[in-house]
């Protein structure tokens, strides 16, 4: 669940930040230690494998991994909107523990994350940001999850209220349950709001069902892949890159040409999920802010690029017609299975979308290796300063 690739100890300022957040949130998550006042160490840019012991129980619905946690069958998922607009949002806290992360296109050709927690729920998650209308259809797939967000404009809040009253989710947003949130004064607003996730009552909703199928790829399905880039075309547009690292068993994420990292325990680690699904979806102008805000139409069908088990499979995604979940099929109509573990779903804007479309590029091995090496070198240099 947590590929510890290219880890570094958190610099003192971030150690203090995390310590304050976790203390305010009520303690460390299971298996983690709240940050202390230690000193930073040099970066390790080598790949290391996760040491998590595999479970022997039934598979978790959102990862396909066997788990031993008996409470999993009785708790709902937790969805948290997490800031990702710019460098002020990074490193986020808690992304390593997420079962599923949606990357949504927002105003300014940037992205925001909707992270879904079920198998693991860390003590603190953040920075928590506002919701978008794109979230409603995505949350609807998860049974009745708890949904954490920092607010929204009047149209968003009105539609969220309707979805909440219809039983689509349990509202644990800041406006309703302010006591679950804490401001980390070491960071500036609005990127300093954190959820006390281990204090959220996850027995109020319903348990999610699997959204994907899991297992080995059939023989001959897909092709070996170095990675993929989803880029928005303007000079300030977001670039999201995932590059295969066989030693880690995951697709290391670069964002705007830099390593995308997250805080987990006392380490800042690379994000390297075992599965990346690039679903090309149409975005329309959001009724909440039609002059600048896009809304994803994630029900329907469209092209998909599935990165799993070191390979890329091109095909079609379908969602919404036959109940919850994503149907991923290759060009011949065969189901595309994912590797057990976490999945990132990049909702890339299709051609003709409002506010610009995304270019999806398959990376050549040499280019991918050079970009990853350069990003890791810059990461190491910055940690040594």
CATH number at residue 39: 3.50.90.10
Q: What is the pLDDT confidence band of residue 70, given thresholds at 50, 70 and 90?
A: confident
Asked if residue 306 and residue 379 are part of one domain, the reply reads yes
Q: Is the peptide bond before 75 cis (omega within 30 degrees of 0)?
A: no
Whether 372 shows a pLDDT value over 90: the answer reads yes
C-alpha span between 39 and 307 (Å, rounded): 37
Q: What is the pLDDT confidence band of residue 40, given thresholds at 50, 70 and 90?
A: very low
* H or E, element range at 170: strand 170-171
Would residue 66 count as lying in a domain? no
pLDDT number for residue 253: 99
What's the pLDDT tens digit per position in 258-271? Answer: 999 999 988 999 99
Asked if residue 114 and residue 22 are part of one domain, the reply reads yes
* H or E, element range at 295: strand 294-297
Would residue 65 count as lying in a domain? no
* H or E, element range at 251: strand 250-255
User: Average pLDDT over the chain, rounded to whole?
Assistant: 89
What's the pLDDT tens digit per position in 159-199? Answer: 999 999 999 999 999 999 999 999 998 899 999 999 999 99
The answer to whether 64 and 120 have CB atoms below 8 angstroms apart is no
pLDDT number for residue 57: 79
Asked if residue 227 and residue 357 are part of one domain, the reply reads yes
The answer to whether 362 and 83 have CB atoms below 8 angstroms apart is no
Asked if residue 374 and residue 254 are part of one domain, the reply reads yes
Q: What is the pLDDT confidence band of residue 23, given thresholds at 50, 70 and 90?
A: low
Q: List alpha helices for the chain, DSSP H.
A: 12-24, 134-139, 154-165, 365-384
Domain, as residue range, for 31: 8-50+77-199
3-state SS, residue 278:
strand
Whether 14 shows a pLDDT value over 80: the answer reads no
C-alpha span between 93 and 78 (Å, rounded): 15
Q: Tokens 């049974």 correspond to what residue?
A: 143
Asked if residue 272 and residue 180 are part of one domain, the reply reads no
Q: How many domains does the chain have?
A: 2
Asked if residue 307 and residue 168 are part of one domain, the reply reads no
Q: Is the peptide bond before 91 cis (omega within 30 degrees of 0)?
A: yes
Q: List alpha helices for 61-147, DSSP H.
A: 134-139
Would residue 213 count as lying in a domain? no
Q: Which of 137, 167, 199 is the last residue of a domain?
A: 199
Would residue 131 count as lying in a domain? yes
For CA atoms 318, 98, 380, 309, the dihedral sign is: negative
Asked if residue 254 and residue 170 are part of one domain, the reply reads no
Asked if residue 195 and residue 344 are part of one domain, the reply reads no
Would residue 218 count as lying in a domain? no
Would residue 358 count as lying in a domain? yes
pLDDT number for residue 39: 27
C-alpha span between 78 and 86 (Å, rounded): 24
Specify which residues 296 forms β-bridges with.
283
Would residue 169 count as lying in a domain? yes
Asked if residue 274 and residue 335 are part of one domain, the reply reads yes
Asked if residue 140 and residue 14 are part of one domain, the reply reads yes
Asked if residue 232 and residue 130 are part of one domain, the reply reads no
Would residue 265 count as lying in a domain? yes
Q: Which residue has the higher pLDDT, 256 or 3?
A: 256
Q: What is the pLDDT confidence band of residue 15, given thresholds at 50, 70 and 90?
A: low
Asked if residue 249 and residue 162 are part of one domain, the reply reads no
């Amino acid at each position: 669940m947590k590929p510890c690739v290219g880890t570094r100890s958190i610099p003192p300022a971030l150690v203090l930040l995390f310590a304050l957040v976790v203390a305010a949130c009520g303690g460390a998550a299971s298996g983690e230690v709240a940050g202390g006042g230690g000193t930073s160490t040099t970066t390790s840019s080598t790949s290391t494998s996760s040491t998590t012991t595999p479970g022997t129980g039934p598979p978790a619905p959102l990862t396909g991994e066997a788990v031993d946690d008996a409470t999993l069958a009785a708790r709902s998922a937790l969805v948290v909107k997490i800031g990702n607009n710019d460098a002020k949002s990074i490193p986020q806290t808690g992304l390593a523990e997420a079962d599923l992360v949606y990357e949504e296109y927002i105003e300014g050709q940037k992205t925001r994350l909707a992270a879904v927690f079920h198998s693991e729920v860390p003590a603190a998650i953040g920075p928590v940001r506002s919701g978008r209308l794109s979230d409603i259809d995505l949350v609807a797939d998860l049974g009745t999850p708890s949904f954490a967000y920092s607010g929204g404009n009047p149209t968003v809040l009105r539609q969220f209220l309707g979805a909440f009253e219809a039983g689509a989710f349990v509202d644990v947003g800041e406006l309703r349950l302010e006591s679950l949130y804490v401001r980390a004064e070491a960071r500036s607003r609005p990127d300093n709001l954190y959820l006390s996730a281990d204090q959220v009552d996850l027995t109020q909703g319903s348990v999610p069902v699997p959204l994907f199928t899991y297992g080995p790829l059939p023989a001959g399905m897909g092709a070996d892949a170095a990675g993929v880039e989803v880029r928005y075309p303007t000079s300030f547009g977001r670039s999201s890159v995932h590059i295969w690292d066989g030693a880690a068993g995951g697709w290391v994420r670069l964002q705007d040409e830099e390593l995308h990292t997250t805080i987990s325990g006392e380490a800042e680690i690379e994000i390297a999920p075992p599965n990346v699904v690039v679903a090309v979806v149409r975005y329309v102008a959001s009724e909440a802010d039609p002059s600048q805000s896009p809304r994803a139409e994630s029900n329907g069908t469209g092209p998909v690029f599935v990165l799993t088990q070191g390979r890329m499979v091109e095909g079609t995604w379908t969602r919404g017609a036959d109940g919850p979940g994503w149907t991923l099929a290759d060009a011949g109509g065969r189901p595309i299975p994912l590797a057990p573990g976490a999945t990132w779903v990049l909702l890339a804007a299709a051609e003709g979308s409002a506010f610009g479309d995304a270019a999806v590029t398959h990376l050549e091995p040499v280019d991918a290796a050079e970009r990853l090496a350069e990003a890791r070198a810059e990461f190491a240099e910055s940690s040594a300063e």
